[in-house]
Amino acid sequence: MGALYNQVADQLQALIADGVYRTGDRLPGVRALSRQFGVSISTVLQAHQTLEARGFLQARERSGYFVRLPARDVPEPTMPEHRTRPLPVSAREMTLDLCADEQKRMVPLATAIPHPDYLPVRQIQQSTIWAARRGLETLDYAFPGKESFRRQIAQRMATLGVPVSPDDVLVTNGAQEAIILALRAVTQAGDIVAVESPSFPGILQALEVVGLRVIEIPTHPSEGMSLEGLQLALEQWPLKACVVVPNHSNPMGARMSDERKQQLVSMLAAANVPLIEDDIYGDLYHSGERPRPAKAFDRSDNVIFCSSFSKTVSPGLRLGWMIPGRHMASARQHKYFVNLATSTIPQLAMAHFLEQGGYDRYLRQARQHYREGIERLRAAVARSFPEGTAVSRPQGGFVLWVQMPAGVSGTGLYRRARQEGINVAPGLMFSTTNKFENCLRLNGGNPWTERIEKAVIRLGALAHELRDQGA
């Protein structure tokens, strides 16, 4: 059972769906609804905001809430075709520098970065000051990671069904380094690695850095990587690793069920192919329980778990970790050779923040923000983009995958939008081929403002123009 205001919102939505309230109708006043549902006024106000986020209500100043046409029910994007040929990875086309300073002034719909308003800024400031006062302890190399931080990670991993000791944890500079270390530990240059398709560009870039070839496995927008596609690849190619984001993948927000995670883990264990799991969005589920990582089903030490606090606490901390299992010695060696250790103060600060117990409280709020942000963004895209557009239904995280009608170029839209100060991530970044040319990824991790809403409406208008021009 969800929060009370969600229950009220669900009941009001059902009344709208049943035609009791029709488009343009004004909902009864807050007091009347509070009496009707037997809830407080603030609960009714929260229910209003939730329905507004879902696209069913529109607030009019000093007049109340009005029913609006709900967004056209857009379908989910389709899965790409199976492809079975390994390709070298070249990120030349993909390295559009979405984080460059110049782009920071644009409407931030491109990067998968949480908005600072949603980050626990005060707590991190306090914990960093606390950490900086630790004196000499802060000045030394922290290899393979500060014990206090690794202990906090071990405690969190235990709650996810992954009982490990602090010694099993290797601290990294974000999840990106963890993925690269995992790849270096289990592959040699030229090896073939399976990834989701579409895939987070950083994973493709990691493959390129290590000199690997890629097999892209079709990925369902809500169920995750196709296990049939993976089985075919396993039968056909000598895969040396498989990189998956089972919980709220980037860019589609797909979540594999426990059953499918179990199948994934056992298929790869049977084929003796290590699974590199990236769980960076695991804590950002929109409803229900924290989904378990695939690592929780690992009985043969075949899953290398990677994660970080970049999506939850702050990307600038550059604080991640991995559980390399039997590959610990190799992962440690690669880490040591490349940068010796991860910076000490962020580890001490994060350990302090976790010890204080504020993280889970903060996460509850953050998850609510991202769920609402995604709902609003999804509704706005559904209203503004051309007929035939499909949009993902993320179950967690804060990015949205938009598949425009065939022939509408995501790269063309990216270029036109940039000229108008709107930043989006075009589909070509998410594959080594151009099969997602008509797609975009949008960031829903921003507070919903008029600027964002106008930008989405403008993107929709540009998509219409591109379609009409046959571009």
| Site residues for ligand PLP per CB under 6 A | 112, 174-176, 200, 202, 245, 250, 278, 280, 308, 310, 315, 320
Compare residues 176 and 392 and give the one whose CB is closer to ligand PLP. Answer: 176
Compare residues 199 and 344 and give the one whose CB is closer to ligand PLP. Answer: 199
CB of 177 to ligand PLP, least distance (A): 7
Helices and strands: H and E segment counts in the chain: 15, 17
Backbone angles phi, psi at 242, to 5 degrees: -140, 125
What residues form DSSP beta bridges with 214?
Answer: 87, 193
Compare residues 16 and 428 and give the one whose CB is closer to ligand PLP. Answer: 428
Q: Using CA of residue 239, residue 245, residue 250, residue 256, what is the dihedral sign?
A: positive
DSSP secondary structure letter of residue 83: -
Chain centroid to CA 343: how far? 25
CB of 407 to ligand PLP, least distance (A): 28
Residue 407 neighbours by CB distance under 10 Å: 13
CB of 460 to ligand PLP, least distance (A): 25
What residues form DSSP beta bridges with 172?
Answer: 320
CB of 58 to ligand PLP, least distance (A): 33
DSSP secondary structure letter of residue 76: P
Cα(373)–Cα(387) distance, integer angstroms? 23
Compare residues 152 and 310 and give the one whose CB is closer to ligand PLP. Answer: 310
Compare residues 12 and 345 and give the one whose CB is closer to ligand PLP. Answer: 345
| H or E stretch at 352 | helix 344-356
Compare residues 67 and 341 and give the one whose CB is closer to ligand PLP. Answer: 341
CB of 18 to ligand PLP, least distance (A): 40
Cα(387)–Cα(1) distance, integer angstroms? 35
CB of 245 to ligand PLP, least distance (A): 5
Task: Please check whether residue 162 is in contact with residue 310, taking contact to mean a CB–CB distance below 8 angstroms.
Answer: no
Compare residues 43 and 219 and give the one whose CB is closer to ligand PLP. Answer: 219
CB of 302 to ligand PLP, least distance (A): 20
CB of 112 to ligand PLP, least distance (A): 4
Cα(171)–Cα(149) distance, integer angstroms? 9
H helices present in 187-321, as ranges = 201-210, 227-236, 258-270
CB of 277 to ligand PLP, least distance (A): 11
Cα(443)–Cα(398) distance, integer angstroms? 6
Backbone angles phi, psi at 170, to 5 degrees: -110, 125
Residue 402 neighbours by CB distance under 10 Å: 28
Burial string for 46-69 (b: 16+ CB within 10 Å, else e) reads bbbbbbbbbbbbeeeeeeebebbe
- Amino acid symbol at 324: P
Determine the Cα angle at 312 with ends 252 and 184, to 5°: 70
Compare residues 127 and 250 and give the one whose CB is closer to ligand PLP. Answer: 250
CB of 219 to ligand PLP, least distance (A): 12
Burial string for 423-448 (b: 16+ CB within 10 Å, else e) reads bbbbbbbbbbeebbbbbbbbbbbbeb
- Amino acid symbol at 446: N
Compare residues 174 and 274 and give the one whose CB is closer to ligand PLP. Answer: 174
Compare residues 308 and 438 and give the one whose CB is closer to ligand PLP. Answer: 308
Could you tell me which residues come within 8 angstroms of residue 443 by beta carbon, excluding any fewer than 6 positions away?
Answer: 108, 109, 110, 111, 112, 113, 398, 399, 400, 425
Task: Please check whether residue 138 is in contact with residue 348, taking contact to mean a CB–CB distance below 8 angstroms.
Answer: yes
CB of 146 to ligand PLP, least distance (A): 17
CB of 39 to ligand PLP, least distance (A): 38
What residues form DSSP beta bridges with 225?
Answer: 219
Compare residues 148 and 342 and give the one whose CB is closer to ligand PLP. Answer: 342
Compare residues 218 and 445 and give the one whose CB is closer to ligand PLP. Answer: 445
